[in-house]
Chain A
Amino acid sequence: MVSFNKLISLIPITIIAIPALASCGGNNNPQDGTIYLKVLNSEDYIYKYDEEDAKKGGNPNPDMIVQFEQYMEKKGQKVRVIYDTFDTMENMYNTLKTGKTKYDLICASEYMIQKLAKEVVNDKPLIQKLNKESIPNYFNDNYKFGSEDEGFDYSYGCSPFIRNKLKSMPAVAGTEAIEGNRMDDYVVCYMWGTLGILYNPEYDLLKSRGLTPDQIANDMTDWDSLWDSKYKKAIAIKDSMRDTYCIGLMHKYKDLLNQAKTIEEKNTIFNYGGEADPDYKKHINEVKDELLTLRKNVFGFEVDSGKQDIVTGKIGIDTAWSGDAVYSMDQGDEEKSARLYYSIPTEGTNLWFDCWAMQTGANVEVANEFLNFISDPINANQNMGYIGYTSPIAGIGTFAYFDETYSEDEGELYDVSYFYNADGEEEKHGFIIPESEIHRQISAQFPLAELEKNNKLMIMQDYGTHNDDILTMWEQVKHESLPIWAVILISVEAALVAAGITWVVVIKVKDKNRRKLRKSNSIAK
């Protein structure tokens, strides 16, 4: 028994030891001409062949990785992709930092790329800049929307909207985004999206409180509603420091955000507490107080369970990433259990990008081929169909995909010109969406046009050296003190233990006396 207990107690240690001990030196070993490309990505974040789905008329193509290998084979190069996944980005960062594991390409969120860009391993920067000419499917400076039949041959590549956002973001958090220090120089964006509120306007608990669907829909256009006691215990928020912190921030500095005109001013406010904020301690504390009030109003914190819980009706409101929201809405429709909606409040939200970065020492040529391959609209569409997030690849290729998925015969024009148009292009582009569908899947895949027009899509950078302060704050927010019954229970137990000890002592003394008496009696006899 004891050794088993010892083992149990040692489980955390072995878990800790694994990353320290795990090291693979797998570099390219071209004996038979095969080149190995090591790729690191989140779990379930690339197209995979699904037999059942294919039978029902889904995508019949093999895995994206296999497609790439076949593509390279046709080009006369034998490439094998070693595809690894990670569970959390923080763990991935810790392993890469040790310099023991090397990859050619890593896919991570924009703030994590900022962290990686700062790292130096073995006197070399951890990630390297990209050669834009080698990835023409993504870096297309002459982008223009239109089809080839109309004479456009520039309708491919990353959307200028995404490129501009990434250009405005520095590669090192808290510095100026000047030439050579832009995210755009380092990454190929893979998927992008927003953080919003996913809600069920017909939720029973809310109905029983006399709230009408219209009223709920209206309230959900405001982050403040999460603090509203009307929605008490119907809400789940993200058990993720960055996402919940930014919601607290938008609630606290609502007026400041609304007064700010330009996107630069808004981004400054949105990055309160971050590396470039001189007054960070005060701001973090103010947001903490807001989040402490918020936690009293919510049902719970979740990272992954929420997308299912809102479908099964455990919660009615959930803060959700756009791709998860699409998943939940699809599930709700399929099971006919809940008709869910997605809303981005008018204060704005956090725009995020999952991007590919190239590690220093990578096989640049093959890695570029891979980036070019997944940026091909055909492949981007396959990935989007599988993952449910939105690819940054614009042009007629992805437009046709969305048009086929979402457009109906009748409805309003859902304007996505900000995404599909090059700068200065006047013509409007969009999908025909029935009015009842506007605030559903499409609004999760493409935020409403007025949000971008009014500079509501902000970017939260890495917190840099202030990360530990925000983590301390987060720990306090996540902490629940003991309830009164627990305190009473402890006192009662303590009293019982004391009583038990006295009782044992009394008995012992009695026994001793009795034995003494018996002894003396027998001696007397």
Chain B
Amino acid sequence: MKRTLRFQRKYLCIPYVIFLILFIIIPILLIIFYAFTNKQGFFSFDAMIDFFSTPTKISILLNSLFIAVQTTILCLVIGYPVAYFLANKKYNKNGVLITLFIMPMWINFVLRTGATRDLLTWLGVNGGNAPYFATLVGMVYNYLPFTILPLYTAMLKLDKSQIEAASDLGARPVQVFTRNILPQSLPGIISAATMVFMPTISSYVISDTMSEGKITLFGSSIYISFSNNQWNTGSFLALIMLIIIFISMLVTHKFSNEEDTVRGGTW
């Protein structure tokens, strides 16, 4: 039997596979290659040694982590109650309010950041005198919609009867929250946290604008290396960022799995 080229459904994936190889796999291999070679193209650990022996670079990394973690926490603290009330039909009739909260996402973030910068200058607390504070404000403002949306979806799925049952069976409001609502919305929290943490750790446009250029984050450190012809250093930094994002994904993944089993055990 001749098996000529017959159309199979899996062929539909070919465009994406090409995209995957061209823009994801090859670049990662290139990064690894450049990270462990020197300017002459030979294998070397120069970039790694350079990174770990430069206090500024490590400090920049820690500062980026600080910004990313704080942004995530702040977004969750602000977004969680908002999402809870938005999911309640009593407050959010026809979903008008949630649209209002999501609306900033429709505008380009560079424009939004520029406006935030002007606003803070008008308030007198700006990148000039409080660069870290201004950066945090800019980051939280930009990523808050990304937190509210997954939390909102999680809240919509809350099992109302279970909450009622809990209070009927004598749980105090605090207990209802900590032992019922919180575990139920945990998947939403985790996806919200990843939605914020990962982009913030690599972003630099917001911090550059908001801090008036005073804070260098890891993303801009990578950019500066590449634009100054330090391909090896830059690649190594990019590799570190990849590893951090990978670790954070592992942690959240494991965390959500673990919580699932715990929850199963509770009932």
Contact = CB atoms under 8 A, between A and B. Distances in A.
Interface string A163-207: 000000000000000000000000000000000000000000000
Contact of B227 (A2, A21, A90, A478): A90
Interface in B84-103: none
A301 B194 contact: no
Interface stretch (A4-12, A51-59, A65-73, A443-451): A4-12
B214 A480 contact: yes
B14 to A, nearest CB: 18
Interface in B173-229: 191, 194-195, 198-199, 202, 209, 211-216, 219, 221-222, 224, 226-229
A478 B132 contact: no
A17 B194 contact: no
A479 B132 CA distance: 12
A480 B207 CA distance: 12
Given A475-B221, A486-B66, A302 B213 contact: yes
B234 to A, nearest CB: 8
Contact of A295 (B30, B127, B214): B214
Interface residues of A, number: 48
Interface in B46-82: 54, 56-57, 59-60, 63, 66, 70, 73
B213 A468 contact: no
A524 B202 CA distance: 60
B198 A233 contact: no
A486 B59 CA distance: 14
A482 interface: yes
Contacts of A300: 127-128, 211-214
Nearest to B213: A301
Contacts, number: 126
A391 to B, nearest CB: 28
B210 to A, nearest CB: 10
Contacts of A472: 54, 56
A295 B121 CA distance: 19
Q: Which of A13, A94, A239, A493 has the most CB of B within 10 A?
A: A13
Given A233-B129, A511-B266, A16 B27 contact: yes
Nearest to B135: A480
Interface in B213-254: 213-216, 219, 221-222, 224, 226-230, 234-235, 238, 241-242, 245, 249
A426 to B, nearest CB: 47
B171 interface: no
A314 interface: yes
A2 B256 CA distance: 13
B106 to A, nearest CB: 17
A17 B235 CA distance: 11
A5 B192 CA distance: 11
B26 interface: yes
Given A301-B212, A301-B213, A314-B121, A13 B249 contact: no
Contacts of B241: 12
Interface in A442-476: 467-468, 471-472, 475-476
A14 B23 contact: yes
B138 interface: no
Interface string A281-294: 00000000000000
B195 A479 contact: no
B213 A239 contact: yes
A93 interface: yes
Given A8-B198, A17-B30, A482-B66, A233 B128 contact: yes
Contacts of A475: 56-57, 60, 216, 221, 224
A498 interface: no
Contact of B128 (A2, A9, A299, A305): A299
Contact of A9 (B27, B216, B245): B245
Interface in A92-109: 93-94, 97
A91 interface: yes
Contacts of A122: none
A24 interface: no
Given A16-B27, A17-B30, A475-B57, A9 B242 contact: yes
Given A21-B22, A471-B228, A486-B132, 15 more contacts: A1-B194, A1-B195, A5-B194, A14-B27, A16-B234, A90-B227, A94-B226, A300-B213, A301-B212, A467-B228, A468-B230, A471-B224, A475-B216, A480-B131, A480-B132
Interface of A: 1-2, 5, 8-14, 16-17, 20-21, 88, 90-91, 93-94, 97, 233, 236, 239, 295, 298-302, 305, 314, 467-468, 471-472, 475-476, 478-483, 486, 489-490, 493, 511
13 contacts: A5-B198, A8-B199, A11-B202, A12-B219, A16-B226, A16-B235, A90-B227, A91-B227, A94-B226, A299-B128, A314-B121, A468-B230, A479-B59
